[in-house]
Amino acid sequence: MGEVIKGLRLLADGQRWVLRHRRDWRFGMIPALITLVGYVVALVALVLWAGDLVDWATPFADHWASGWADAFRVLLTVVLFGGGLLVAVISFTAVTLLVGQPFYEALAERVERAEGGCPEPPGRPLWRELWIAARDSVRVLLRVAAFGIVLFAAGFVPVVGQTVVPALGFCVSGFFFTLELGAVAFQRRDVPLTTQLRLLRHRLPLVLGFGVPLIVVFLVPLVAVVLMPGAVAGATLLVRELLPPEPGPASEPAERDSGDPGAPGTGTGTRGNGPGGTGTGANGSGGA
């Protein structure tokens, strides 16, 4: 139970961090706002043209009595819009993470530098970084799909399918959501995906305490817009909990709160000899 509470605390610490660095908070909301505007435009277009789309897709209803045909098409229109809204809610977070990758990389780096002991990136060429990110995304997607198939099948089991399976679904979603949010900090430490999964499984209560509440609140896209920057900051702090910097000058915070709540989290303190930069500290052990 203590690990679960610690995960919740890290989630709260991430939100507090961005509130203390409001410029970074506003910066981190940009991808979520972009995604939200895109979804709003798509849903408005769906409202405007859903009727025409249903008419086009149901030519067989032209020969029905006018009352039955109209009722049937109105029902299909409502179902179509409801389905689009459901897809938007479910996919909002994933799309925001995809759109916001460069933003969240910068935000995670600012958190690391503000907290001290920020590891330097591996120094691979951009095409290599993109290849690793794409490969890891596919591997994670396959794992999520496998869990989804098992949970879907288990959902048909009486009682268990209506009680245990939804709870397990939230736990699985929270685990992989935490993995996605922490991917930037893990990649900066050059930690391969298999090691990332092992580290998260080893501290599973901590990870679920962080990820499950996020999954629940992120079902509301407007809430996700506000909380996403803090979620990225909190996931970065969680990775630092799993792979703490070595004690020493490089681990001292690069920036303390200066009393300006709008100050960005970009310190100018020590940075060159962190454990991730030498590959002998958290980076070296995490990538083993």
- Report yes or no on 262 lying in a domain: no
- Report yes or no on 263 lying in a domain: no
Distances (CA, A) of 271 to 74, 117, 245, 267, 280: 61, 7, 12, 9, 15
Q: 281 phi and psi, to 5 degrees?
A: -105, -125
The tokens describing 208, both together, are: 């679920």
d(CA 259, CA 78): 52
Alpha helices in 21-65 (DSSP H): 22-57
3-class secondary structure, 90: helix
User: Would you state the pLDDT for residue 233?
Assistant: 94
Higher pLDDT, 32 or 236: 236
126-164 confidence digits (pLDDT tens): 777 778 777 887 888 888 888 888 988 888 888 888 889
- Report yes or no on 97 lying in a domain: yes
223-254 confidence digits (pLDDT tens): 888 899 999 999 999 999 999 876 554 444 54
Amino acid residing at 89: V
* Range with the poorest average pLDDT among 109-113, 198-202, 278-282: 278-282
d(CA 227, CA 77): 33
Alpha helices in the chain (DSSP H): 2-20, 22-57, 66-99, 101-115, 126-154, 160-188, 193-202, 204-217, 221-242, 275-278, 282-286
- Report yes or no on 135 lying in a domain: yes
- Whether the pLDDT of residue 187 is over 50: the answer is yes
d(CA 222, CA 109): 25
Q: Tally the domains of the chain.
A: 1
User: Would you state the pLDDT for residue 96?
Assistant: 83
Across the range 71-99, mean pLDDT stands at 81
End-to-end CA distance of the chain: 29
Which residues does 282 contact at the CB level (< 8 Å), separation at least 6?
119, 189, 243, 244, 245, 246, 275, 276
- Report yes or no on 264 lying in a domain: no
Residue percentage of the chain with pLDDT more than 90: 28
Provide the domain limits for residue 211: 2-257+269-286
123: left (phi over 0), alpha (psi -120 to 50) or beta: left
Altogether, the residues listed in the chain come to a count of: 288
Judge if pTM exceeds 0.75: no
